[in-house]
Each structure stands twice: as structure tokens, then as C-alpha cells.
């Protein structure tokens, strides 16, 4: 069984529409929707925004459903000039940009007591997500549709909607991340602690600078639908 976690309903919308034979169950205040997408059994949950919501959901999903893989799916702010709205980032590693014990001698993002800043995504999951994007681009080129632009790299998570050039430049210079969001790294930490393979796929909804709230309103749904499209193909491969 594959686990799918989104922060917001609009990120789950397309995935939910693809699910058949659904059954719902509540755990820790979160609704887990079990069913199948084509031949694959899935459990899908909207966790709410932020790292604590995401961690609660991930641990509850693992405890109750024992998924063999978890995907975090949704939208993100761009931290790179190369990444425009609706482009895709597949995480190779994740960091909590707001974890700050620097006053105690840690590096920014370092989890106190662990020596660890980055949580590595499962390389085979990341590779399979990129392959799914190739499949979609093959279909899109046949139908004359614009190809998805996708890159692999680091994603930074924190309990902040990033909307300033200054904050952006802190995250890029400190962590080299390509995109920012609010859940991926906490899902990563819980998956690593439980030895569950995981991947994170995010499509860009905004520029994460002073105009991010306007971009977000305009591009969030299109970006969310791009991420969901990749997940559907991932599950069918
Ligand atoms: N998710 C989408 N855009 C974001 C941003 N700018 N900051 C944090 N999370 C986001």
C-alpha cells in the first residue's frame, strides 16, 4: 500500500477523484481515505498545513496502515530563477530551515543532538517520480501540450509561508534548496525514524518573495494538478 499526504484539500483533489472503492477512517483527527488508483492500493490523507500537522499524520498513517512507501505531494514556493510557476521539484533531500539551535553551536537546520540537517529521500522513489514525468512529457509532446519542466534537488520546510527576498536568500545560501514549503522535511524525519521509504514532489505555485501571495492565488490549483498528475503515473508504473 502507498501512502499519499497533502497539506491542503486542493492538493489532494485530483488524487481523490482518481480513487475507487474508497473507505474512510479517522485517526488523530485526520481522515484517512483508503482505496485504489488503478491496480494500486493507496491510503490518502490531507494533513493540514505545517510541520506538526504533517508529523502527526505521517506517524498515524504508518502505525495504522503500514504503507511500504509514502509520497508527500503538493505545491511549493520557488527559490530558484530556473523554476517558474507550475514547474516541478522532486526532492533528493529535505531540511527544516526554521530549526535553529545555532545559539548552542549547531548549524542552521541541524536537529539538536543528531548532527543531522538533511533527510535523504529514497533515491529509487525520486528516480521513479522523474521517470513518471518523462512518461507524461512523452504523451504531452505527442499531443502538442507544453512539457513539464522538472528538476531534482533539496527542498526546505518550515512553519512559515515564505514571502520575502531576504528570507529566500537565507534559505538558498544556507541550504542550497530549490523550493520551500511547510511539511516535507517533517514527513521525511518521521519516515526516516520508521524506516519507511518516501518521496516528496512539489510543483511551484509562487515566487516565495513579496509577490508570492498573488502568485499563490493564481497558480496554486494548476501547480497542485501537475503534482497529482505525476503521482497518478508513478502509481501506474
Ligand atoms: N507553499 C507554497 N508556497 C509556499 C511559500 N512561499 N512558502 C512556504 N510554503 C509554500
Q: What is the pLDDT of residues 159-174, one digit of tens each?
A: 999 999 999 999 999 9
Q: pTM value?
A: 0.97
Residue 78 CB less than 6 A away from ligand 1: no
Closest of 91, 90, 53 to residue 190, by C-alpha: 53
Q: Quick one: pLDDT at residue 212?
A: 87
Residue from 88, 94, 162 to probe ligand 1 pocket by mutation (most atoms less than 8 Å from CB): 162
**Of all atoms in ligand 1, which is nearest to the CA of residue 181?**
9
Check pLDDT > 90 for residue 211.
no
The active-site residue out of 87, 110, 183, 206 is 206
User: Hey, what long-range contacts does 161-169 have (CB within 8 A, 24 or more apart)?
Assistant: 161/77, 161/212, 161/213, 162/77, 162/208, 162/212, 163/208, 163/209, 163/210, 163/212, 163/213, 164/209, 164/210, 165/209, 165/210, 167/208, 168/77, 168/79, 168/208, 168/209
Residue 76 CB less than 6 A away from ligand 1: yes
Question: Which domains are present in the chain?
Answer: 2-236 (3.40.50.1580)
DSSP character string of 75-107: EEEE-STT--TT-EEEEEEEEETT---GGGTPP
133 CA → ligand 1 middle, Å:
22
Residue 183 CB less than 6 A away from ligand 1: no
Which tens digit of pLDDT belongs to each residue from 93-128? Answer: 999 999 999 999 999 999 999 989 999 999 999 999
Check pLDDT > 90 for residue 33.
yes
Amino acid at each position: 500500500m502507498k501512502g499519499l499526504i497533502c497539506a491542503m484539500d486542493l492538493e489532494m483533489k485530483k488524487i481523490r477523484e482518481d480513487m475507487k472503492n474508497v473507505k474512510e477512517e479517522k485517526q488523530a483527527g485526520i481522515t484517512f481515505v483508503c482505496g485504489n488508483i488503478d491496480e494500486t492500493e493507496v491510503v490518502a490523507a490531507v494533513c493540514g498545513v505545517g510541520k506538526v500537522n504533517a508529523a502527526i499524520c505521517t506517524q498515524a498513517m504508518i502505525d495504522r496502515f503500514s504503507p511500504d512507501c509514502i509520497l508527500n505531494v503538493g505545491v511549493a514556493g520557488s527559490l530558484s530563477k530556473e523554476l517558474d510557476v507550475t514547474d516541478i521539484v522532486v526532492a533528493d533531500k529535505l531540511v527544516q530551515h526554521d530549526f535553529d539551535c545555532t545559539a548552542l553551536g549547531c548549524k542552521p537546520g541541524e536537529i539538536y543532538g543528531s548532527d543531522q540537517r538533511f533527510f535523504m529521500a529514497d533515491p529509487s522513489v525520486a528516480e521513479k517520480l522523474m521517470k513518471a514525468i518523462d512518461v507524461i512529457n512523452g504523451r504531452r509532446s505527442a499531443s502538442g501540450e507544453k512539457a513539464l519542466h522538472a528538476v531534482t534537488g533539496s527542498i526546505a520546510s518550515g512553519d512559515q509561508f515564505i514571502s520575502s527576498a531576504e528570507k529566500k536568500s537565507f534559505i538558498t545560501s544556507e541550504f542550497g534548496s530549490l523550493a520551500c514549503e511547510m511539511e516535507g522535511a517533517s514527513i521525511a524525519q518521521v519516515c526516516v525514524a520508521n524506516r519507511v521509504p518516501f518521496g516528496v514532489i512539489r510543483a511551484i505555485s509562487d515566487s516565495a518573495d513579496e509577490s508570492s501571495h498573488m502568485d499563490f492565488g493564481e497558480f496554486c490549483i494548476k501547480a497542485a494538478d501537475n503534482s497529482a498528475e505525476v503521482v497518478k503515473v508513478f502509481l501506474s508504473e
